Each structure stands twice: as C-alpha cells, then as structure tokens.
Structure 1
Amino acid sequence: MPEGAKESQAVDDHEQIRSRSSRRLWLTGGVAVAAAAAGAGVAWWRSQPQAMGPSAEQQLWSQVFETADGKPFAMADWQGKSVLLNFWATWCPPCVKEMPMLSAFAAQQARHGIQVIGLAVDKNEAVLRFLQRQPVQYPVAMAMQGGLGLTRTLGNLQGGLPFTVLFDAKGQVRQRKIGELSGEDLANWSQKS
C-alpha cells in the first residue's frame, strides 16, 4: 500500500474510533440524564402528600394530646373552625425556620377565623425550652411518636417534617404540604379556607 494511502487509512480509522467514542459518550450521558430525571421525579413524588387513610380526618378530631406542661389538648375543641395544623420538632431546621412566620400568620388570622395549632413530634422538655426562647402566638401540643403515625394517616407517608394541613370549618382537609411553608403558601391557603 502506498505511503499516502496508509496515512489516509490511518486518519479514517482514527476518525471512526473517535466517532464511536463520541457516540458512546453521548449515549452514556443521555442514559445518566434520564436516570437522574427519573430519580428526581421519584423523589419529588415521595415528597408530595399521598392519599389519606380511611377516616383520617375523623381520627384526627378524636385525638386528645397534652400541652408541653401536661394539660389536656382535645382536637375536638377546635372543630367548627378553619385550622392550620403544623407538625414540627425542635430538631428540624425548616420547622424552626418557619415558626416566626406561622406565629405572625396566627396573630393576623385570629381575627379572620383560621386557628394555627402546632403539634410537636418531640420531647416535652425540648419543646418547653424552645418555646421559652421563641414563643409563638398559637397553641402547641405534644404529638410525640404517635404524631408521625398521624401524619402518615393524613398522607405524609415518609413522615417528613414539617408537615402542614389546612382543615376547613367542616373539619375536611383543604391543603397539605410536606416541607417548609412559604408566605405565598399561607396567602393562598388563607383564601381557600
């Protein structure tokens, strides 16, 4: 084979190898992007409230909790009002971050009929210490470990905190959110209560 033909063949071989490598790289990248998108989709789906258990609302309204200082706190006492129920814990950074906003919302909404209630999935002592440092304008009761089971009944299958549920005056769920609330969430929800 003449020298020029050998060089031309070498260049062609090199181009084919580079082309195959480039296709493999694009294919691998495409598969990786598809897998990442699928994983993100599953994670998003898991972070959304799911279907509630049968008679979940009835179960909630029959609960009697205790305040951090040991007084009874019956959910039935709040029926007939729109209730924004926030499950939280002192060890949960997004829970703690949203509490001043919830407290301001509670003070504003007290005149408009939405009652904010905090249910702490925590230990009494930790909640008492926390509320002494950062008081809130709404009642807080202790849901303890049973609180996570209650959140699952209300559609929070992963048990993530914070978890907030808006009930209308008939005791029916109107809105739910797993994760930190925004001011926009509260503004929208207050119009739907």
Structure 2
Amino acid sequence: MQAPTPSTSRKSLYLKLLGLAAVIILGVVGTLSMSSSKSAPDVTFTDLQGKQIPLSSLRGKVVMVNFWATSCTTCVKEMPQMVETYERYNARGLDFVAVAMSYDPPNYVLNFTETRKLPFTVALDPQDQLAKAFGDVKLTPTTFLIDKEGKIIKRYVGEPDFAALHQLLETALAG
C-alpha cells in the first residue's frame, strides 16, 4: 500500500469539503422551501352550536386544525394532550379547531365534547368539505399547524411528538 502523497490527501480533503458544502446547500434549500409553505385553505368552520368561524378571522393567531373522530383510538388517546397544549398556549395566541370527520355521528361528537369538557372549538364536517380543502384528509388524526399569516407550517398524520410540537409552537408564537 502506498502512503498518501500531499496531492492525494489534498484531493481527498477537497472532495470531503465539496460533499459538506453540498449537504449544507441542500439543508438551506430544504429549510427555505419549508418556510415558504402553502397557504391554508379559505374555509369556514361550523361549530356545534352552528356558529360560522372563517379561518381567515383567526389571522394573527397561530392555529391548530385537528381532524379526528370519536371512533379513532389514537384521536381519543391524544385528545388530553391536545387540551393541555391548547391551555398552555392559548393565552399566547394559539387557537384550536377540532374537526370531526363526516362519518362521526354528531351526537357522538357532542357527547365527547361535553364529557371531556373540550375547551376549544369543535366543528362538524358533514359533507367532507373541510377535509377535502385541507388536501383530502382521510386518516385520523391529522393535524395542521398554521402560522399567524395563514400559512401551513406543519402537517402531522398520527399523534404528534408533543415535545417537538411545543417547540414549534414556541417559535411560531414568538414570530
């Protein structure tokens, strides 16, 4: 085996630096593409009392939109943490809308909301209009985090990592 010559080791160092630069560039491009996320759809929620709440009326707040169902075990399991998250950040500008899926009987949704004392808006989506507007949501739970300008900054399918979600909320609420 031959000992590396100065030109061989220089070439190796150059290739390593080139690879590192490529990784950094890809990371920056990925971060920029995430920060220029798409706008949330222009929808209006109807809460359990029939009140209409346009998503646009929540501009200036960070909003979580959670698609869920009373028959979804993961949804039921995560709901206490969703309540805790809402209560922790609501005073700082977080709003929350839990959207029941169209197949969820309204009386089940109402019963769940009342017995669990859900403190945030619960909306019905009987015609799947909200689910379709958010990219044809089929899986529950699916949660969208929307920034103060109305841009979707994160989509969670399944139960989110709540520690990471809270860090993201801290950043979004500070911005």
Range class of TM-score, shorter chain: 0.5 to 0.7
Equivalence for 1:189: 168
Equivalence for 2:100: 120
Distance in 1, matches of 2:133 and 2:75, equals 17
Distance in 1, matches of 2:91 and 2:75, equals 24
Deviation at 1:174, TM superposition (A): 0.9
Distance in 1, matches of 2:143 and 2:163, equals 14
2:133 to 142, 150, 157: 150
- TM-score, normalized by length of structure 1? 0.62
Distance in 2, matches of 1:142 and 1:191, equals 29
- Is the CA contact 2:85–2:166 (under 8 Å) kept in the aligned structure 1? no
Give the secondary-structure state (helix, strand or coil) at the position aligned to 1:99: helix
Deviation at 1:75, TM superposition (A): 1.6
The reply to whether residue 94 of structure 1 matches residue 77 of structure 2 is no
- TM-score, normalized by length of structure 2? 0.68
Deviation at 1:162, TM superposition (A): 0.5
Distance in 1, matches of 2:168 and 2:143, equals 11
Q: Is the alpha carbon distance of 1:151 and 1:63 closer, same or farther for their aligned partners in structure 2, counting shifts above 3 Å?
A: closer
Deviations 1:2-50 (A, max 9, x none): xxxxxxxxxxxxxxxxxxxxxxxxxxxxxxxxxxxxxxxxxxxxxxxxx
Distance in 2, matches of 1:185 and 1:143, equals 28
The CA RMSD over aligned residues, in Å, is 2.0
Q: Which has the larger radius of gyration?
A: 1
How many aligned positions are there?
A: 133
Deviations 1:119-162 (A, max 9, x none): 11133222111112111121111123223313325xx5xx2110
- Is the CA contact 2:43–2:133 (under 8 Å) kept in the aligned structure 1? no
Equivalence for 1:111: 91
- Is the CA contact 2:99–2:123 (under 8 Å) kept in the aligned structure 1? yes
Q: Is the alpha carbon distance of 1:147 and 1:92 closer, same or farther for their aligned partners in structure 2, counting shifts above 3 Å?
A: farther
Distance in 2, matches of 1:92 and 1:73, equals 25
Aligned-partner residue type, residue 71 of structure 1: K
Which stretches in structure 1 are left out of the alignment for 5+ residues? 1-55
Which stretches in structure 2 are left out of the alignment for 5+ residues? 1-37
1:139 to 121, 125, 136: 121
1:164 to 123, 132, 143: 143
Distance in 2, matches of 1:148 and 1:76, equals 17
Distance in 1, matches of 2:53 and 2:105, equals 16
2:57 to 52, 70, 77: 77
Equivalence for 2:24: none
Task: Compare the two structures and name the one with the higher helix fraction.
Answer: 1
